[in-house]
Structure 1
Amino acid sequence: MPVLVMKFGGTSVATVDRIHRAAKRIGVEVAKGYDVIVIVSAMSGETNKLVGFVNDTSPLYDAREYDAVVSSGENVTAGLMALTLQEMDVPARSWQGWQVPVKTTSAHSNARIEDIPTDNIMAKFGEGMRVAVVAGFQGVSPEGRITTLGRGGSDTTAVAFAAAFGAERCDIYTDVDGVYTTDPRITSKARKLDKIAFEEMLELASLGAKVLQTRSVELAMRYKVRLRVLSSFEEQSDDAGTLVCDEEEIMESNVVAGVAYSRDEAKMTLISVADRPGIAAAIFMPLSEAGVNVDMIVQNISEEGRTDMTFSCPVDQVKRAEKAMNAAKESGSINFHDLVADEGVAKVSVVGIGMRSHTGVAAKMFQVLSNEGVNIKVITTSEIKISVLIDRKYMELAVQALHDAFELEKA
């Protein structure tokens, strides 16, 4: 029988009633003739509670035991979902990561999936099981220890299973009914997209859109897994939600597909750095080693052998970046006059595969922001996106103005 993967996030399984509602959706797909692999998250709030228990018990915890604790939330949901399906006379059983087994690296709390053998689950399908309820977010290391995949890891689990089993589709059930042109909380004109290309979704996810986890979209793009994002709280139809698919499946795209934003950004500038070969490496290697996630980078014109280097990073990593730069200065590997941090900025981006074949998108974006009196601090571009760093207080204004200017409310 064809295989379908269905993933239910924390809000979709937050209570026993919601688990029952999700189970009814699964039953509908079983009735259509699918063998279904269901990936479940922990019940909403459960993982945070378990992380809190670990931190209260051992602030400098053993990462292996951390994974053993925080992965247990998914086990509870998987067992309850299997029981609910059995009560509905749907042959189902639960699977923990090590039982499949989901083979991962040994990087505890941020492991990567290396292989998902299909033999065990396919054998059970052959024996009459119709639904395999798999605990998402977890796997097993080569050493035989439980691992977890990091925040949003259940999305990654779902896509990896769809790729491994050659699933017809991977449905991601969440608390929103699809992917929108921008955050509907910022502009009421935001429109749900029927389809979006993998590349566009990957850019939107990495630029702040919270609908799908970035790693899951990367995986879907690599293995051509058709993803559908839809709400577990609304009536379902065959064309519900948003399909994330190959560019070839989309007949005609708007030049811009969506506007993304990231609120909590910081801009850091090293003033008067020596302009010499290797200076960029001397700056960014210590930042990398300190775990600072550097995004935009701009180097000013050199004068008298000195230059300014500006980069952006998440605002909660500013202290880490300052410590790394000051340590590099003390060691003599870099020499700068001052380090200035601006913690009041936000990143706003426009994304669209149509940019490849249309000119003038950047000019239009900059003109719109200029008309609204929004000053641009840093600009970066790629083939299908343009991002700017602006004062955080103008973020919502900028998103609304760009959404209007590119007429994203129109299909």
Structure 2
Amino acid sequence: MFQPGEVQVQKFGGSSMATPERILKVAERVAEQVRAGRRIVLVVSAMGDTTDELLALMARISHDPPLREVDQLAATGEIVSVSVTAAALTRVGVKAKSFIAPTLGIRTDDRFGSAEITAFERLGELATFVREGGVPVVAGYQGVTPHGDFTTLGRGGSDITAVALARDLGQKLCEKFTDEDGVYSADPRLVPTARKVWHLDYREMDALARYGNGILHPRAIAYAREAGIRIHVRSSFTREEGSVVGPDGDSRHLVKSLAVDRKQAVVTVEGLRHRPDTSEAPTAWVVALPFSPTAWEWRTFDGITGSLRVGFRLGEAFQALPALWELAAEHQAEEVRFASTPAVISIVGCGLEANPELVPRLLRPLQAIGIHPWLVDHRGVRLTLAVSRDGANEAIELLHRTILSL
């Protein structure tokens, strides 16, 4: 389609598009690049909180709306943003045209709310427009089924659109512009001493994305990894370099960052015993339960007390409870308890995999001040700890200081 580097795919998120003034700033930034001879393909999200407002509207109408109808409504946010962005570009002297899912043929399956892109069926039209000097403005987040219904790719799905588009255009770089100027060693709003992380590999960024850092969508990272695409995360409001996610991280820092997730719930099944007819641990039984394999985030089992703990996203926990009650009844467990969100802290870095002795070094300072995580889950490049809400902020600050010292 194009040679690598011949086109730049740039994605601007909702915060970058929140007001008419910000949209005009985006247009001026793109116009500068076009005047410098660059070919740009834009992918944009809905303006500001538009998607949240649309979903809230649907929730006021129905507590259990058909998923198809939710997607037909949610997709309209991006239709607005591509139209006004194309108009803003035209105003500053750039030839521009909006492309929504039917226009570009962004074909997906019919899994409403979490659809997968299967093809860009009219990519040739977009390529022709680019070669004619135009800037296509593509609606992120949305697709269309073979039957013509709108679908959405899931929250943050514009990242997926941008990386998939870069891949199919033959590019090896995708730029994401947001209100943050990169990935930091912690959320600067929680930890003022956080430092920018200049380079992360795909596995590190995937772990951060799944466990509390919402800068990139995990599926966008998976697409990038498969195609060997680097993602440059940078600010919409400054010209500073940001963080680059790619096949190689920064080996100088063993641990890169920590992410905090306060939107999890924990279901505990107490007094659960191994079945005599199987060698499988109860943690393996969770996989076979009749709820989505992506519903749970982590699971642990204490063989001495028979305590099975499963961590869920808040919205998934209530749906999973009936299956866990059945599991408890089948194995004559003592009780099932539901606990609202703990603070789940995930520490990420390639050094955790190569140097497992780092784990006790990270835990020791917490234990010294009486913070004892009730979940310690070390897998590959990620160490996840769950602590009580009361000690969460102190734990975050202490862990961050320890990370910087490694």
Q: TM-score, normalised by structure 2?
A: 0.91
Partner of 2:23: 19
Change over 3 Å in CA distance of 1:50–1:406 after alignment to 2: closer
1:254 aligns with 2:259: no
Partner of 2:100: 96
One-letter code aligned to 1:372: I
Could you tell me how far apart the structure 1 residues matched to 2:368 and 2:86 are? Answer: 56
- The count of aligned residue pairs is 397
One-letter code aligned to 1:245: G
One-letter code aligned to 2:362: M
1:72 aligns with 2:71: no
**SS of aligned partner of 2:391:** helix
**SS of aligned partner of 2:390:** helix
Shift of 1:320: 3.1
The one of 298, 301, 308 aligned to 1:299: 301
Partner of 1:267: 266
**SS of aligned partner of 1:20:** helix
**SS of aligned partner of 1:119:** helix
1:125 aligns with 2:137: no
1:285 aligns with 2:288: yes
Change over 3 Å in CA distance of 1:280–1:232 after alignment to 2: closer
Mark the runs of 5 or more structure 2 residues left unpaired by the alignment: none
One-letter code aligned to 2:309: T
Could you tell me how far apart the structure 2 residues matched to 1:280 and 1:204 are? Answer: 23
Could you tell me how far apart the structure 1 residues matched to 2:57 and 2:28 are? Answer: 33
One-letter code aligned to 1:314: R
Give percent identity, aligned residues only. Answer: 27
Could you tell me how far apart the structure 2 residues matched to 1:189 and 1:25 are? Answer: 30
Mapping of residues 137-286 of structure 1, within 5 Å: 137-234=141-238, 236-237=239-240, 240-247=241-248, 250=249, 252-276=251-275, 277=278, 280=283, 282-286=285-289
Q: Residue deviations 1:213-244, cap 9 Å, x none? A: 2221122122111111111122x14xx11111
Q: Residue deviations 1:275-332, cap 9 Å, x none? A: 112655555433625x8722222222258xxx332222234544333333224556xx
Could you tell me how far apart the structure 2 residues matched to 1:32 and 1:353 are? Answer: 38
The one of 349, 354, 361 aligned to 2:351: 354
Shift of 1:122: 1.2
One-letter code aligned to 1:285: A
Could you tell me how far apart the structure 2 residues matched to 1:292 and 1:133 are? Answer: 32
- What root-mean-square deviation, in Å, do the aligned CA atoms of Structure 1 and Structure 2 show? 2.2
Q: Tell me if structure 2 keeps the 8 A contact 1:287–1:325.
A: no
**SS of aligned partner of 1:296:** strand
One-letter code aligned to 2:264: E
Q: Tell me if structure 2 keeps the 8 A contact 1:103–1:141.
A: yes
**SS of aligned partner of 1:44:** coil
Could you tell me how far apart the structure 2 residues matched to 1:77 and 1:264 are? Answer: 29
Partner of 1:45: 49
One-letter code aligned to 1:286: L
One-letter code aligned to 2:333: F
Q: Residue deviations 1:73-130, cap 9 Å, x none? A: 111110111111112221110000111111111011211111224222112223x142
One-letter code aligned to 2:291: S
Q: TM-score, normalised by structure 1?
A: 0.90
**SS of aligned partner of 1:274:** coil
One-letter code aligned to 1:125: V
One-letter code aligned to 1:402: L
Partner of 1:322: 321
The one of 345, 350, 374 aligned to 1:377: 374
Q: Residue deviations 1:175-194, cap 9 Å, x none? A: 11111000111111100122
One-letter code aligned to 1:288: F
Shift of 1:376: 1.6
Mark the runs of 5 or more structure 1 residues left unpaired by the alignment: none
